[in-house]
Amino acid sequence: MSADLKLIKDPQELSLLLTKVEECGSKSCTCSLLRCEGWDTMSESMWPSEQLLQLGTLRDSSVDEPTFEEYQPNALRVDDPKALISIKHFPYNRCDVFSCSKCNQAVMRYTEYGGYYIDHRARRVQSTLVIKD
- pLDDT (tens, 9 = 90+) of the chain, 133 residues, equals 445 788 999 999 998 888 877 655 556 677 788 778 889 898 888 898 898 999 999 999 888 889 898 888 776 788 888 888 999 999 999 999 999 888 888 899 999 887 788 899 999 888 888 998 7
What is the pLDDT, as a whole number, of residue 27? 60
42 contacts 36 by C-beta, under 8 angstroms: yes
What is the pLDDT, as a whole number, of residue 81? 85
pTM of the model: 0.85
What is the pLDDT, as a whole number, of residue 1? 44
Q: How many CA atoms lie within 13 A of 41 on its CB side?
A: 6
Compute the distance between CA of residue 115 and CA of residue 48 in angstroms, rounded to an integer. 27
Compute the distance between CA of residue 9 and CA of residue 25 in angstroms, rounded to an integer. 27
Beta strands 52-57; 106-114: pairing state: unpaired
